[in-house]
A and B are shown apart, each in its own frame.
Chain A
Amino acid sequence: SAVISQKPSRDICQRGTSLTIQCQVDSQVTMMFWYRQQPGQSLTLIATANQGSEATYESGFVIDKFPISRPNLTFSTLTVSNMSPEDSSIYLCSVIAGVNEQFFGPGTRLTVL
């Protein structure tokens, strides 16, 4: 398995501002992902964080809104830009470890007023 931490664990932000979420893993991993979980909903993949190159975004998510950095094999950041109340969600990072199993961080609970 992998031990994953996220910062901040929660935040309350004003609309129009931006928040950067950090994801730290205790070992080097090839694959890192960012997911969003809107209130009462399931998880939706935002993007794959690629080390050394631009992230790969899923349909409905764009780099200008969710810029992602992956400077090395243990760390990634997701920024939620120009926030609106619709961005209120839990944001989770995940990694692949072991055979092919995906493990999730504790999540960042974001509320936008």
Chain B
Amino acid sequence: GIQVEQSPPDLILQEGANSTLRCNFSDSVNNLQWFHQNPWGQLINLFYIPSGTKQNGRLSATTVATERYSLLYISSSQTTDSGVYFCAVEPNNAGNMLTFGGGTRLMVKP
């Protein structure tokens, strides 16, 4: 099956710093989503981004489908950004089923 790798696995930031999270995938995909899992376990949708660039406040994401990677940018990080960030992809012919990467665990210190 498709492989989804996220980097870095762990990241510690000082409040106000910027960061880039990366998601590499091994095959063509129909769909790519970024999620934030907060400390209570809730998965929050950040971006639905099979290709192109989107921005939402301090967050933005870019997916280059032809090169099989996606990037999530966090600017001016806040302590509330802490948690785990997951990239999930839907391979071609997968019937909407998502394969998750291993996640990036982010801690933002005040």
- Which A residues fall within an 8 A CB radius of B? 1, 31, 33, 37, 42-45, 48, 58, 90, 92, 94, 96, 98-104, 106-107, 109
**B33 interface neighbour in A45, A58, A101, A107, Cβ under 8 Å:** A101
User: Taking the complex as formed, is B83 at the interface, i.e. its CB lies under 8 A from any CB of chain A?
Assistant: no
A33 to B30, CA, bound (A): 18
Q: Which residues of B contact A98 (CB under 8 A)?
A: 48
A106 contacts B45, CB within 8 Å? no
A44 to B98, CA, bound (A): 9
A42 contacts B43, CB within 8 Å? no
Known contacts A99-B48, A109-B41; A43/B86 CB under 8 A: yes
CB distance from A106 to the nearest CB of B (A): 5
A104 contacts B86, CB within 8 Å? no
A107 to B99, CA, bound (A): 18
A33 contacts B48, CB within 8 Å? no
CB distance from B9 to the nearest CB of A (A): 11
Proximity string of chain B (27-50) to chain A, C-beta cutoff 8 Å, 1 when within and 0 when not = 000110101000001110100100
Residue of A37, A58, A90, A106 with most chain B CB atoms under a 10 A cut-off: A37
CB distance from B67 to the nearest CB of A (A): 21
A42 contacts B48, CB within 8 Å? no
CB distance from A39 to the nearest CB of B (A): 11
